[in-house]
Structure 1
Amino acid sequence: MQLRPVGADALLIEVDTPLDWFAALDAERAAGRLSVVDIVPGARTVLLDGVTDPAALAARLRDWSIDPAAVPHEPTLVVDVIFDGIDLPFVAAHTGTTVASVVEVLTGTELTVAFCGFAPGFAYLSGLPWNVPRLGTPRTRVPAGSVALAAEFAGIYPTPSPGGWRIVGHSSAELFRVDREPPALFTPGRTVRFRSA
Structure 2
Amino acid sequence: MAAPLSPPRLLPSGDSAITVEFSRRIDDDANRRVLALDRTLADEPIAGVTETVPTYRSLLVHYDPVQVGFETLGKRLIELAQRPVPSSEKGRRWRIPVAYGGEYGIDLEDVARTLDTTPDDVVARHIAGDYRVAMLGFTPGWSYLSGLQESLYMPRRRNPRLLTPAGTISIGGVQAGIQCIAGPSGWHLLGCTPVRTYQLHRDPIFLLEPGDRVKFYRIDAKTYVEQERAAEHGEIIAELIAA
Task: Return the TM-score normalized by structure 2.
Answer: 0.71
Q: Which consecutive unaligned segments of at least 5 residues does structure 1 have?
A: none
State the number of aligned residues.
197
Question: How many Å separate the matches in 2 of 1:39 and 1:70?
Answer: 23
Contact 1:134-1:165 at 8 Å conserved across structures? yes
Deviation at 1:72, TM superposition (A): 4.5
Q: Residue in 2 aligned with 1:38?
A: 51
Give the 5 Å matches for 1:18-37: 18-34=30-46, 36-37=49-50
Question: How many Å separate the matches in 2 of 1:182 and 1:45?
Answer: 25
> Are 1:98 and 2:108 matched, yes or no?
no
Structure 2 SS opposite 1:62: helix
Between stretches 83-92 and 164-173, larger displacement belongs to 83-92
Structure 2 SS opposite 1:189: coil
Counterpart of 2:144 (choices 120, 124, 127) is 124
Task: State the AA in 2 paired with 1:78.
Answer: R
Contact 2:166-2:183 at 8 Å conserved across structures? yes
> Are 1:192 and 2:208 matched, yes or no?
no
> Are 1:149 and 2:165 matched, yes or no?
no
Task: State the AA in 2 paired with 1:23.
Answer: L
Partner deviation per Cα, 1:151-182 (whole Å, 9 max, x = no partner): 11212221222322211011000121224465
Seq. identity, % = 30
CA RMSD across the alignment = 2.3
* Gap change, CA 1:116 and 1:33, over 3 Å in 2: same
* Gap change, CA 1:62 and 1:163, over 3 Å in 2: closer
> Are 1:50 and 2:57 matched, yes or no?
no
Deviation at 1:115, TM superposition (A): 2.1
Deviation at 1:50, TM superposition (A): 2.9
Question: How many Å separate the matches in 1 of 2:12 and 2:88?
Answer: 26
Deviation at 1:71, TM superposition (A): 6.4
Deviation at 1:13, TM superposition (A): 0.9
Deviation at 1:30, TM superposition (A): 3.4
The structure with the largest alpha-carbon Rg is 2
> Are 1:168 and 2:190 matched, yes or no?
yes
Task: State the AA in 2 paired with 1:42.
Answer: T
Contact 1:146-1:157 at 8 Å conserved across structures? yes
Partner deviation per Cα, 1:88-127 (whole Å, 9 max, x = no partner): 1222232333222211221111112222222111121122
Q: Which consecutive unaligned segments of at least 5 residues does structure 2 have?
A: 1-7, 24-28, 220-243
> Are 1:9 and 2:16 matched, yes or no?
yes
Question: How many Å separate the matches in 1 of 2:175 and 2:50?
Answer: 28
Contact 1:24-1:71 at 8 Å conserved across structures? no
